[in-house]
Amino acid sequence: MHTIMIDTSLDISIENTPQSRVAELDQDNLKFGRQFSDHMFIADYRDGQWQELRIVPFGPMEFNPALAVIHYGQTIFEGLKAYRSDAGQVRVFRPSANWARFNLSAERMCMPTIPEEIFVGGLKKLLQLDEAWVPNRPQSSLYIRPFMFATDEYIGIRPSDTYRFMIFTSPVGAYYSEPVRVKIETEYTRAFPGGTGYAKSAGNYAGALYPTVKAQKQGFHQLIWTDGLEHKYIEEAGTMNLAFVIDGKLISPQPSETILHGITRNSLLQMARDLGISVEERRVTVDEVVTALRDGKMQEAFGIGTAATLAPIAMISYQGEELPLPSPTDNAVGDQLRKALDDLRYGRAEDPHGWLMPIE
Ligand SMILES: Cc1ncc(COP(=O)(O)O)c(C=O)c1O
């Protein structure tokens, strides 16, 4: 073990893996979320302070069966990506935006917030060590998973006094291999006003499994969630926000307390504005979407998120009626946006908003 200083003047102890596993990585067959890089970052919260910042080899951890998180679900996470540019440089996409959202989630779940220098500084140091794990194939990236969980060894419902924050990473390829088929959900609900929908808390995802699996058994890739009160407004899809092109306008449901404030969505809408595309962020009704599809006025629909990037939608089902989207034409909005995002991430274009953080 040796202690090093990083530019944020954080003390992080580092235990290097005795044997890197990177040579075993098959970059041409990356499965989402299955392979993990050599190291992980850990910080513990105790006595009101984040302490014992360390990087250790990725591997199992021991826990007490009374660990609070296992029983009452006090845990949150983030998801972001690092990309290798065509010239070989590794850069992380908007880590400070994920840090800010992490702290919003933490507050909602009665957990301590974490300083940016630990979240971003720990991430930077981890990526410096595991740089070789950032793939260089088209559409590939290193998925980064920061998370925090309650570690009191106590059975009782109250916020834990102690927590662990961790980051590990996983090389990934494309998420969906084909345009997706989605179903507008009008029975089950993901999020409710006053609830936790805007937070990346694990329970939101556990609660979504049952209706999602049901839809998958009916042949859909994902659900489109609607509002919990009336099932009248479009919210989001699985782990993606949504955008539609209706009459040439890019329309996306406005994030709210029941819709996750997606960083990809925010970035792509900014890029659309930069490209001179007309953008509307507002509430979008189910009726508007279904009518536009039936009348042939919807040219494109796509899901947008870190994992899937921009996933074109092939078909939207509503109460048993299958409404296909037309095949995208040349210069479709989705294609323009995907290209602009790829050019940025893989270093083929300028970064006018300063979204990419180099790890060196
Ligand atoms: C519920 C949900 N909606 C939307 C998104 C997309 O957000 P982002 O673009 O920040 O990945 C995610 C993924 O984080 C998500 O889990």
305 within ligand 1 shell (Cβ under 6 A):
yes
pLDDT band at 333 (very low <50, low <70, confident <90, very high): very high
Q: What's the CA gap between 95 and 146, in Å, rounded?
A: 11
Structural domain spans, the chain: 2-174, 180-345
Contacts 24+ apart (CB under 8 A), 110-113: 110/74, 110/159, 111/74, 111/76, 111/148, 111/150, 111/159, 111/160, 111/163, 112/45, 112/48, 112/50, 112/163
Report the topology of domain 180-345. D-amino Acid Aminotransferase; Chain A, domain 2 (3.20.10)
Which residue in this structure is represented by tokens 């092939």? 314
79 within ligand 1 shell (Cβ under 6 A):
yes
Percentage of the chain with pLDDT > 70?
98
Burial class (CB in 10 A: 0-12, 13-18, 19+), 209: exposed
Residue 154 corresponds to which tokens in the numbers above?
């106590």
Give CA torsion, residues 206, 208, 213, 215, to 10 deg.
Answer: 180
Residue 91 clears pLDDT 70, i.e. is over it: yes
Q: What's the CA gap between 257 and 51, in Å, rounded?
A: 32
pLDDT of residue 177: 80
Lowest-confidence pick of 89-103, 171-185, 232-246:
171-185
At 54-67, the pLDDT tens digits run 999 999 999 999 99
Q: What's the CA gap between 232 and 211, in Å, rounded?
A: 18
pLDDT of residue 10: 82
Alpha carbon of 71 to those of 30, 45, 68, 139, 306: distances in Å?
Answer: 33, 19, 6, 38, 29
At 125-183, the pLDDT tens digits run 999 999 999 999 999 999 999 999 999 999 999 999 999 999 999 999 988 788 999 99
Going by alpha carbons, the residue nearest to atom 13 of ligand 1 is 239
User: For a substitution probing ligand 1, which of 93, 256, 264, 268 has the most ligand atoms within 8 Å of its CB?
Assistant: 264
Sorted by sequence, the CB contacts under 8 Å of residue 259 that are 6+ apart come out as: 191, 197, 198, 235, 236, 241, 253
Atom of ligand 1 nearest to the CA of 263: 10
Q: What's the CA gap between 205 and 77, in Å, rounded?
A: 11
pLDDT band at 39 (very low <50, low <70, confident <90, very high): very high
DSSP string, 137-190: STT-EEEEEEEEEE--B--SSS--S-EEEEEEEEEE--S-SS-EEEEE-SS--S
pLDDT of residue 149: 98
2-174 shares its CATH topology with 180-345: no
Q: What's the CA gap between 306 and 92, in Å, rounded?
A: 12
**Does an H or E element contain 298, and which?**
strand 298-305
Region 14-25 average pLDDT: 96
Q: What's the CA gap between 256 and 236, in Å, rounded?
A: 11
201 within ligand 1 shell (Cβ under 6 A):
no
Q: Is 123 helix (H, G, I), strand (E, B) or coil?
A: helix
Q: What's the CA gap between 235 and 358, in Å, rounded?
A: 34
Ranges assigned E (strand) in 89-138: 90-93
pLDDT band at 9 (very low <50, low <70, confident <90, very high): low
Class of domain 2-174: alpha beta
Nearest CA to 184 out of 231, 240, 250 is that of 231
User: For a substitution probing ligand 1, which of 80, 226, 260, 264 has the most ligand atoms within 8 Å of its CB?
Assistant: 260
Give the type of residue at 270.
Answer: Q
Nearest CA to 167 out of 135, 151, 142, 144 is that of 144
Q: What's the CA gap between 223 and 217, in Å, rounded?
A: 12
Rounded to the nearest whole angstrom, what is the distance from the C-alpha of residue 246 to the centroid of ligand 1? 23
CB atoms within 10 A of CB 79: 17
